Chain A
Amino acid sequence: MKANDSPVLAIRVHHDDNVAVVAADVQAGGLVRLDDGAEVPAVQAIARGSKIALRPIACGEAVVRYGEEIGKATQDIAAGEHVHTHNLRRGG
């Protein structure tokens, strides 16, 4: 797969969100584009419907979607990384 294929749309609901949902499969190195035109390179392959980090998120920091906290990062997450059960958990 070419890494420079046309960017994949990612949907961010709220401007405070630090994750977005990719609307199609994206390859490692592939570009993800937000509705405002901002682009983030995916550091790994991310499947359609999964979340991508839009900026670095430190371990313990809130992961924000819909402008609300959906849980906390359980490890440092780099911009462009896949965010799911391996690095995100709901706080107590």
Chain B
Amino acid sequence: MSEKFVFQGWRRPDGRPGIRNHCLVLATVACAAGVVREVARRLPEVVAVEHAHGCGRGGPDLALQLKTLAGLVRNPNVGAAVLVGLGCEVVSPTLLKAAASASGKPLETVVIQEAGGSRKAADQTEALARRLLAELDNLPREEGTAADLVVGLKCGGSDTFSGLTANPAVGKAADRLVELGGTAILGETTEMIGALGPLLKLAESELVAARLKAKVERQEERAQQILGPLAGKVIAPGNVEGGLTTIAEKSLGCIAKAGSSPIREVLDYGDRPSRNGLVVMDTPGYDVEAMAGMAAAGAQVILFTTGRGTPVGFPAVPVIKISSNSELFEAMSDDIDLDAGTILAGKSAGQVGEEIIRLLLQVARGEKVRAEVNGQAVFAIAQEGPAF
């Protein structure tokens, strides 16, 4: 690519720039969902996030939820946030604000029980969000480069072509991003089962290799415990219809997204990378939960390949959809941003990788992806209990 990889972003107090400048209205607990939904109706320009988490679980799950929600608040694409809780939950607005305070962003809290009910809480939230939106409008923009980007790598609804077209093309794009100084996160530990050998060859050090091996073996043990003889088949029915037979086959195609850079670090779910380059994060394969871990780690954008086709996006984070075959691209053109099926017609993975980098730059410069245009934003957090 001859064009320089620069964009005008919004530098955040704690470091990396956002490529979006969103005001987040976030429920801290499921019980606040109605208020958040009402505010979204009144103020469509906010990113409103509701979910089923925040209370009623054991310590490990709640700690993971707090960390992930705080990570979402800290994501560089979020400029400011209103945190809305009920008042008696574990993950309260006060707790979440404290957990996300390192962001240095304007954070406001609303508690429904203290506000005097949902209508008053919605009024308060709306007023706060209006003020924050006005503040965000006045934030100066600053130049960012590829080195400022953290890019999540994800595949969902894979078929046999995913590992031949879209994933290797994303791998080439990840290689290029890393060359330019950027950071790429490979997740989906469940989809490393059966593919540990090739992954370990990328590990930068013995420590990284040992951590990687431990994470994948833990997932494999969990799969064995929960599914028994079915453990070798933890792939979705659509994957099987798409021609994939075993988890190892799916995994080997999946890890092609990583490209060929050295793996510099192995992160727990939702942790921020401490180094640039290719890193691995321990996440489920389940699309929305995996993306939540990447967003919490500060990913400003996600490259998402699909063979069967999926419309899912993520709040505040553009998700670039790449199809593994041209039939899908034509059938779901409203949902797919780029077609890697052209590799079956003679293009190289390197050429499509360059197309992906060019699109990534356009998206960093503000071009909306299909999932943003369609208002597709789904949120869910991984659980300590079984999730694949």
**Interface: A69 (CB within 8 A):** yes
Give B157-184 interface residues, CB cut-off 8 Å to A: 159-161, 163-164
**Interface: B252 (CB within 8 A):** yes
**Interface: A49 (CB within 8 A):** yes
Contact B245–A71 (Cβ < 8 Å): yes
Chain A residues positioned under 8 Å from B13 (CB to CB): none
**Interface: B240 (CB within 8 A):** yes
Listed in ascending order, the chain A residues whose CB lies under 8 Å from chain B are 9, 11, 13, 21, 23, 47, 49-51, 65-66, 68-71, 83-85, 88-92
Question: Looking at the complex, which of B193-201, B275-283, B363-371 is the stretch in contact with chain A?
Answer: B193-201
A89 to B249, CA, bound (A): 11
Given the interface pairs A23-B344, A66-B253, A71-B232, the reply to whether A89 lies near B246 with Cβ below 8 Å is yes
Least CB separation from B234: chain A residue: A90
* Count of chain A to chain B residue pairs whose CB atoms are closer than 8 Å in the complex: 67
Chain A residues positioned under 8 Å from B243 (CB to CB): 21, 47, 49-51, 84
A49 to B240, CA, bound (A): 11
Contact B252–A68 (Cβ < 8 Å): yes
Chain B residues positioned under 8 Å from A88 (CB to CB): 245-246
Listed in ascending order, the chain B residues whose CB lies under 8 Å from chain A are 159-161, 163-164, 194-195, 197-198, 232-233, 240, 242-243, 245-249, 252-253, 256, 307, 325, 344
Q: Out of B161, B164, B198, B325, which one reaches A68, CB within 8 Å? A: B198
A51 to B233, CA, bound (A): 17
Chain B residues positioned under 8 Å from A71 (CB to CB): 232, 245-246, 248-249
CB distance from A56 to the nearest CB of B (A): 18
Contact B249–A85 (Cβ < 8 Å): no
Chain A residues positioned under 8 Å from B198 (CB to CB): 66, 68
A18 to B226, CA, bound (A): 32
Contact A69–B245 (Cβ < 8 Å): no
A71 to B248, CA, bound (A): 7
A85 to B197, CA, bound (A): 24
Chain B residues positioned under 8 Å from A89 (CB to CB): 232, 245-246
Given the interface pairs A70-B194, A85-B240, A89-B232, the reply to whether A21 lies near B252 with Cβ below 8 Å is no
Given the interface pairs A21-B161, A49-B159, the reply to whether A90 lies near B253 with Cβ below 8 Å is no
Q: Out of A49, A68, A70, which one reaches B197, CB within 8 Å? A: A68
Chain A residues positioned under 8 Å from B247 (CB to CB): 90
Contact A70–B246 (Cβ < 8 Å): yes
Given the interface pairs A21-B161, A23-B344, A51-B160, the reply to whether A68 lies near B245 with Cβ below 8 Å is no
Chain B residues positioned under 8 Å from A65 (CB to CB): 249, 252
